[in-house]
Structure 1
Amino acid sequence: MIAETVCSAVAAAGLGIAAVTAYRKRFLAAARIAAYSLVPLGLVMTGIVEWVADTAFSPVAWAGFGVLGGAWALFATTRALERRRGGTREERKAARAAARRGAVEPSASAPSLGAGSRQGARPQTASGSRADTGAGDDFSDIEAILKKHGI
């Protein structure tokens, strides 16, 4: 009863504010305020406010929310444990069987090397020997760009 009265008062006040806003020639804002103020009135007329008020003060409804929360917690916990273990039992069995069969080639996990990084394509130093694979080899292309621009 009190919730319905409060919602009706909020709707009346909102419509009053919308009327003042429309009087100030701000019709778009007035229409938006009127729309927002009619929502509580519509909720009262459909009976949703009474249902929410009855639910809010019902111990059985709160117990139901508790049961739903417990079910959600169990679901989330089992999903987290499943991910931590690496999937379901069947998925783990399939992964182990694939690992035993050698489903992945050893070279498949090796990083892809560009044409400039292969052993045969290493730049030569001033003495004519191949450059060592070190930090200098990583920056050789950057050095070439800088030299090209005179830096």
Structure 2
Amino acid sequence: MAKGQGRVLAQNKKANFEYAIEETMEAGIVLQGTEIKSIRAGRVNLKDSFARIDRGEVRIINMHISPYEQGNRFNHDPTRTRKLLLHRKQIDKLIGQTQQQGYSLVPIKMYIKDGFAKILLGVGKGKKKYDKREDLKQKQMKRDVDRAMRDRDY
């Protein structure tokens, strides 16, 4: 775990495969009612989610937070658009970075820090198919080397 992060509740494992992440930024999130209880229970999914800058505000779209079991009529819409909390300078910096061709805002992980739900946002450029293949080759070679070193020790 990185310094200062609490317990990781959800990770977008595809983010590093689909995008070349160049910079990360921590953001708070505006939640309604029972959403934090579902998040603390680990019932959140970042798989198909993405962030977008709309009218000077950063919003996360398609993040799925399952309804809370004891929430009855106070439950929320699982995939509603949620606002992210960033400073104005951070938003301006993100606007500049995402104006470039091919750059996107991708949520990488969600965690609890000092009692608050936080999202680690990454600014990344989409990888081409050959880049993804190269990453898979590198991963396989590393796995083979680790396996050979482990077997050699015996």
* Shorter-chain TM-score above 0.5: no
Quick check: which one's strand share is greater? 2
TM range (shorter): under 0.3
Q: Which has the larger radius of gyration?
A: 1
Structure with larger RCO (C-alpha < 8 A, sep 6+): 2
